[in-house]
Chains A and B, each alone.
Chain A
């Protein structure tokens, strides 16, 4: 009974978080007439699947989702594979080069990408990567990497060096102590970085817009925008239906991977 306020607050928070999704579902099931009511309804009066049939009938949403999934998976895995050792080096080896590298990582975040999109496009064209998914993966990795590096090196710093020293006292080589002591403790950080990279890539629109031209290689965000017209006018029903479908893979991915997001692994690892 004492926990009632806590549960109420938690319920309110869940409703707050779930609101956009519930609204999306409600809109996706409404007729155009019901969408134009001055008093919006939560539960559609005459639910219809017409928005779903329109959305899936007009656009290759499944194909686009599969391509988005491939790009997001490759981008996130490659980002983590590169940033993991780099972040360890940045966190553990203090040198001028490291400080410069960290500064560069931060500075790289302030560049508006519209400035670099044309040179980047030229480079990709020279490499025959325009209009290809590997080209898009390369760009997504490049742009996710600095923040992923920054994020992961924070996790590495949080692992006390004393743990590695203790392993060394027990005779473990540096590689062994990284593999057996540091890596398991970094699992939550790796998962968080993986999620960040996956969602960034899954949602990314602008680079995909300029790099991918062939309808056969277009990703999901490019397909969703086809339901919008000039000056923000949109076909709300099919757009809501398609957007709902677009959120499902990332929800599933999150549900699978979130179990690894544990905290407190290092509680009590070092005395004092």
Chain B
């Protein structure tokens, strides 16, 4: 009996000890303010940079102590929905701008308009602030996060095949036009080697962002109502990619069903020469490419304009945070010019800070940083960012329709019809 009692005591003690550090005890006035910072950094260098900056802050600010909490991109919104509803969300939240709109409308995020220090506000261009400016649910536009990392589309190229094709090498100031891009891809197609690969497992964001090259926005607002539009501007990029696949036959059909990083092994093997991708993919190429494999980063192609749609990674403050002023101070430190350069370098993305964009660490030619950083000037707010119901339109309508189109199962007219008719039905529900 004694043994059983002892075991019970030990078990209770083990469980209680193991949960130590939990709860959220009230802090007395003498204790430092405690702030939880939910970070979604996941790359090795990026996690190290985040941890180092938090450590630096905690050393310099004994009265405002930040706890670094690592989250995950795949589940962060499920996690936040629950924590917002329960009033236990972290004070400082890392997310991306598409997710902020819904949370802002529901009143879960603090409007930062009056909180932003001038230095931080002026260091980030208006085009980036546009990605975090939303209706806060009361008909007023508010700023619900500080944008700090953005992604542009570039072309990662096999240098050997590029040189052999003897085509003009595009630069940040003189990118390829779509015609030149298609001609180059055609020239590089020979035998088993294709000019380009379009991994289109998730085709929507990529094509919508590139559609801005020809002024394609896919959405129009009139009379307070947003509807889908697929006119000549929107069709242009879709048609050109389709032509590479089925008319020129310069695009590798094997890559079509793949995710963004999946074609890399074939790329290293020289199965195709050009891979249009987000700037972050350079990290995997730099890490995985076999010895002797030479690659370069080329700017994305240009249509009537070089513009691309962009969303931002953001830091926001929870509406229920007990320490919004201290949280803002931490964000101002965390996202100053030199720190943004470290974060951008760690994540292989583009900083929004103009000071950071001039940092030698991210303007070097090594690993295509010069081309990637220069492409930031073409980023404008993605038109779909402020469309209520975009996520459902994307998953239920646009993804299957574009997948069928790129698999050559439907025509561009059918694409337009379904995107508009089925899409408007979805959007209508969000605008009642």
Residues of A within 8 A of B (CB): 32-33, 35-38, 54, 58, 66-67, 70, 74, 114, 117-118, 121-122, 125, 128, 130-135, 137, 205-206, 209-210, 212-217, 225-233, 235, 238
Contact = CB atoms under 8 A, between A and B. Distances in A.
A179 to B, nearest CB: 16
Interface stretch (B62-70, B154-162, B167-175): B62-70
Contact of A209 (B16, B78, B259, B291): B78
B264 A217 contact: no
Interface in B77-126: 78-79, 81-83, 85-88, 90
By CB atoms of chain A within 10 A, which of B36, B67, B74 has the most?
A: B74
Interface stretch (B19-27, B225-233, B375-383): B19-27
24 contacts: A33-B289, A33-B290, A33-B291, A38-B271, A54-B44, A67-B18, A70-B14, A70-B15, A114-B78, A118-B81, A122-B86, A130-B22, A131-B88, A132-B23, A210-B82, A216-B21, A226-B70, A228-B42, A230-B73, A231-B73, A232-B74, A232-B259, A233-B259, A235-B42
A205 B75 CA distance: 10
Contact of A217 (B22, B83, B268, B289): B22
A122 B15 contact: no
Given A228-B72, A231-B202, A232-B259, A130 B81 contact: no
A174 to B, nearest CB: 24
B140 interface: no
A226 B384 CA distance: 29
A18 B398 CA distance: 40
A243 to B, nearest CB: 15
By CB atoms of chain A within 10 A, which of B22, B68, B284 has the most?
A: B22
- The 10 A-B pairs with the shortest beta carbon distances in the complex, nearest first, are A216-B21, A36-B288, A230-B73, A131-B22, A133-B19, A132-B22, A210-B82, A132-B19, A225-B72, A38-B265
B24 A229 contact: no
B164 to A, nearest CB: 21
Interface residues of B, number: 50
A143 to B, nearest CB: 16
Contact of A213 (B42, B47, B69): B69
B260 A118 contact: no
A54 B259 CA distance: 25
Given A131-B24, A210-B82, A215 B67 contact: yes
Interface in B179-224: 202
Nearest to B51: A58
Given A122-B85, A130-B88, A214 B22 contact: yes
B265 A214 contact: no
A74 B15 contact: yes
Given A36-B264, A122-B85, A125-B87, 17 more contacts: A32-B288, A38-B271, A70-B14, A70-B18, A114-B78, A118-B81, A118-B85, A121-B82, A122-B86, A130-B86, A206-B78, A209-B78, A210-B83, A215-B69, A215-B70, A216-B20, A217-B19
A213 B36 contact: yes
A67 B14 CA distance: 10
Contacts of A206: 75, 78
A205 B14 CA distance: 22
Contacts of B410: none
B311 to A, nearest CB: 11
A238 B85 CA distance: 34
Q: Is the interface of A mostly helix, strand, loop or mixed?
A: helix
Contacts of B291: 33
Given A118-B85, A131-B23, A210-B79, A229 B43 contact: yes
Given A54-B44, A209-B78, A217-B19, A226 B87 contact: no
Contacts of A212: 22
Contacts of B90: 213
Interface string B294-336: 0000000000000000000000000000000000000000000
A118 B259 contact: no
A130 B11 CA distance: 20
Contact of A231 (B15, B259, B287): B259
A202 to B, nearest CB: 15
A122 B83 CA distance: 9
A213 B70 CA distance: 9
A213 B18 contact: no
B83 A213 contact: yes
B23 A38 contact: no
A212 to B, nearest CB: 8
By CB atoms of chain B within 10 A, which of A66, A228, A229, A235 has the most?
A: A229
Contacts of B16: 134
A135 B15 CA distance: 11
A137 B82 CA distance: 19
Interface string B271-297: 100000000000010011111000000
Given A217-B21, A226-B42, A133 B15 contact: yes
